[in-house]
């Protein structure tokens, strides 16, 4: 029987209340046999600590571009080269704008800019931010460059508003990631 190498995922987590769904997404990816390496923005650590993701992923969690890398290569380059896919979930309007404009001022955005792996983005934000023409233009920009977008769902948001902006459910994100990399139900070709 041919042994397949596990999918190497870089899971980017940004500062949104939807971070709790990212923890479930990491758990589902591990359950599927994928190797998950989490990169968090500083803002994300205000919602959930890196310890949560380190425990779920069984790997160190990157937060700062200035952290000592695990290997001789800078952390963002090492992660970028390791990735079979990069998933940013949740992706705030701020990080979406950075991705659209090639800004790399933290470990997550530097890794996204350096990787050649497929990029999947699961936005999460307030309805007003989601509907704003700048956000829609940023979505169009990253989509035109080949990024996959999991559309934000409509429903009740943490701010009390009701409308689009909710991050997609972890199962839907996992399925979209599988489709992007061409893997079947259990992470195998």
84-126 pLDDT, tens digit per residue, is: 999 999 999 999 999 999 999 999 999 999 999 999 999 999 9
Q: How large a percentage of the chain has pLDDT more than 90? A: 72
pTM for this one?
0.88
Q: Which domain holds residue 29?
A: 8-181
What backbone phi and psi angles, to 5 degrees, belong to 52? -60, -50
Q: Which is higher by pLDDT, 40 or 161? A: 40
Whether 1 is in a domain gets the answer no
159 is catalytic: yes
Whether 187 is in a domain gets the answer no
DSSP 165: E
Query: At 39, which CATH number?
Result: 3.40.50.1950
DSSP 62: B
Whether 50 is in a domain gets the answer yes
Domain count, the chain: 1
Whether 42 is in a domain gets the answer yes
Whether 62 is in a domain gets the answer yes
Q: Which of 51, 140, 158, 159 is catalytic?
A: 159
39-88 pLDDT, tens digit per residue, is: 999 999 999 999 999 999 999 999 986 565 555 444 456 788 888 999 99
Whether 186 is in a domain gets the answer no
Please give the Cα distance from 135 to 133 (Å, whole number).
5
User: Which tokens hold the place of 96?
Assistant: 């979406």
């Amino acid at each position: 029987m041919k042994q397949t190498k596990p999918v190497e995922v870089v899971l980017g987590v940004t500062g949104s209340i939807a971070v709790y769904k990212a923890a479930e997404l990491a758990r589902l990816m591990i359950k599927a046999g994928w190797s998950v390496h989490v990169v968090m923005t500083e803002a994300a650590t205000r919602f959930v600590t890196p310890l949560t993701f380190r425990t779920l992923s069984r790997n160190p969690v990157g937060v700062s571009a200035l952290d000592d890398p695990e290997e001789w290569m800078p952390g963002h380059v090492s992660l970028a080269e390791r990735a079979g896919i990069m998933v940013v979930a949740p992706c705030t309007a701020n990080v979406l704008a950075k991705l659209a404009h090639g800004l790399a001022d933290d470990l997550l955005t530097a890794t996204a800019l350096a990787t050649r792996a497929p990029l999947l983005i699961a936005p999460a934000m307030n309805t007003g931010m989601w509907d704003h023409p700048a956000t829609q233009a940023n979505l169009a920009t990253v989509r035109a460059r080949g990024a996959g977008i999991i559309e934000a769902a409509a429903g009740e948001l943490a701010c009390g508003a009701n409308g689009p902006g909710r991050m997609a459910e972890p199962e839907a994100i996992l399925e979209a990631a599988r489709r992007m990399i061409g893997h079947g139900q259990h992470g195998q070709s």
